[in-house]
A and B are shown apart, each in its own frame.
Chain A
């Protein structure tokens, strides 16, 4: 199917453009004289899923940590929910982070805590009663299809299971923004698809704004070309080669933004770097 026949998903309503959830304005950061991000600017609207692509070492994970205030930029302004995270004290950032869920590249589960305690970490911090906390952990583990792993420890889990626990930990409090740092990195294609399905499910069921880093173009295009069918309980390709309107792309290269736009704009881009980077992984083939 040629790329030109790609259509936007009619069943999806275009998200209302309101104040951006995340905005980067001329953000730069260097480590040991090496410039990692140079004058980056972009915005993420409510209910949008922003996929961040780029070669290894181009600053994608740094960008994600900047968005969560885990590191501070050398210059520029980052606003999350309208608050300037670059100027906030760490104590105030802790309150802001209560609205943000983050899935780390290597899961970053607390290895001395069980799956239940990992997932319920935030609930325990908020002093939620044990009964309610247990119930919510069970619900969210059902969502990620890991109900039987509740008593296990992270060392007993496979890589894919750890990622799913990490997703469960990030979404248990129903955050308004989710940051996925390479959730499929290092996983086999089948497990990757399971993780992508979870991301799509979270996007289409909860309409949560999210930023997602991935190295796997096929995962990115699966996100753009599939939706979650709640009745069937599984991810399906959007009919008539439709694409999800709320999914947009940001491509980085050598610390610069080389693309910021929709899936259609991306596949039609004439930029030589993007053509080379995408190669044959265009959306009409991604779902194959």
Chain B
């Protein structure tokens, strides 16, 4: 690993932030002008949305299961095992559903985008696209951005639903709770603010996953080794961004709605 002076390091980081902002801004602005590559958007929706369904469902389901299992020990001390439904529903909808879905989709798709676009970059396919008169940001980045934002929203809803179902399975089968009570408590625990918070987050997370994945892909240098590096960086950076932005949105929502 080569060491650079703090000045050069700072300049590189500022330039990277600038490049990322320009790319993300252009990709977002393209959503509102033609031409739109609908075929590419639907292909990406299928790949990102339907393709991520198994891992999102499995993760959400078992998170709900383990949440019910672990929380029951603490709730038992207060004689409040019947509140398991409240805890699972609130945790899944406000926090775990969006964040875990974001992290799973990031691991699967930010890496996929970085490696796909990175390979295209190092084999001059991106330059070829520009030479053929096509804007690569419009053709490659914008469809991924819109597809990820759109599909992550629904994947999060799926994750929330199966998480609550997983909690129900454990509560009924292992904790001996009544299914009707569990679902009733879950339903009562959630208010408008919780649902808004839980459904706002995937919109931001989707933007982060696609823009970071595409940014590292479009800026890949150094052959196949560079593609590998871009893939790793895309997953690491998008995952960290998701956690940080999750905190910021949570704080903002609590400030707005008071919970």
Interfacial residues, chain A to chain B (CB-CB below 8 A): 65, 68, 70, 90-91, 93-95, 97-98, 100, 102, 104-106, 108-111, 121-122, 125, 169
Contacts and interface: CB of A to CB of B under 8 A. Distances in A.
B133 A97 contact: yes
A122 B128 CA distance: 11
A122 B131 CA distance: 10
A106 B133 contact: no
Q: Which 3 A-B pairs have the closest CB atoms?
A: A108-B128, A108-B124, A102-B131
B127 A104 contact: yes
Contact of B132 (A95, A97, A106, A111): A97
Nearest to B126: A108
A76 B135 CA distance: 25
Contact of B123 (A70, A93, A100, A108): A108
Contacts of A121: 132, 134
Contact of A102 (B125, B128, B134, B135): B128
A239 B135 CA distance: 47
B184 interface: no
B131 A70 contact: yes
30 contacts: A65-B127, A68-B131, A70-B127, A70-B130, A70-B131, A90-B135, A94-B133, A94-B135, A97-B130, A97-B132, A98-B133, A100-B131, A102-B131, A102-B132, A104-B124, A104-B127, A104-B131, A105-B124, A106-B124, A108-B123, A108-B127, A108-B128, A109-B125, A110-B120, A110-B125, A110-B129, A111-B125, A121-B134, A122-B133, A169-B132
A215 to B, nearest CB: 18
Contacts of B134: 94, 121, 125
A14 B134 CA distance: 36
A97 B123 CA distance: 20
B23 to A, nearest CB: 12
A125 B127 CA distance: 16
A196 B77 CA distance: 84
Nearest to B128: A108
Interface of B: 120, 123-125, 127-135
A98 B134 CA distance: 9
A68 B123 CA distance: 18
A162 to B, nearest CB: 11
Nearest to A61: B124
Contacts of B133: 94-95, 97-98, 122, 125
Chain A CB within 10 Å, residue with most, of B123, B124, B131: B131
Contacts of B129: 110
Contacts of B130: 70, 90, 93-94, 97
Nearest to A96: B133
Contact of A111 (B123, B127, B131): B123
A110 B135 contact: no
A97 B135 contact: no
A154 to B, nearest CB: 10
Query: In the complex, which of the residues A65, A100, A108, A109 has the most CB atoms of chain B within 10 Å of its own CB atom?
Result: A108
Contacts of A100: 131
B42 to A, nearest CB: 16
A264 to B, nearest CB: 33
A94 B137 CA distance: 13
Nearest to B124: A108
B127 A91 contact: no
Contacts of B132: 97, 102, 121-122, 125, 169
Nearest to A95: B133
Nearest to A179: B131
Nearest to B129: A110
Nearest to A125: B134
Interface centre among B125, B127, B130, B132 (most CB of A within 10 A): B132
Nearest to B139: A125
A92 to B, nearest CB: 11
A108 B120 CA distance: 9
Given A109-B125, A121-B134, A125-B133, 18 more contacts: A68-B131, A70-B127, A90-B130, A90-B135, A91-B135, A93-B130, A94-B133, A94-B135, A97-B133, A100-B131, A102-B128, A104-B131, A106-B123, A108-B124, A108-B128, A110-B120, A110-B128, A111-B125
A90 B130 CA distance: 9
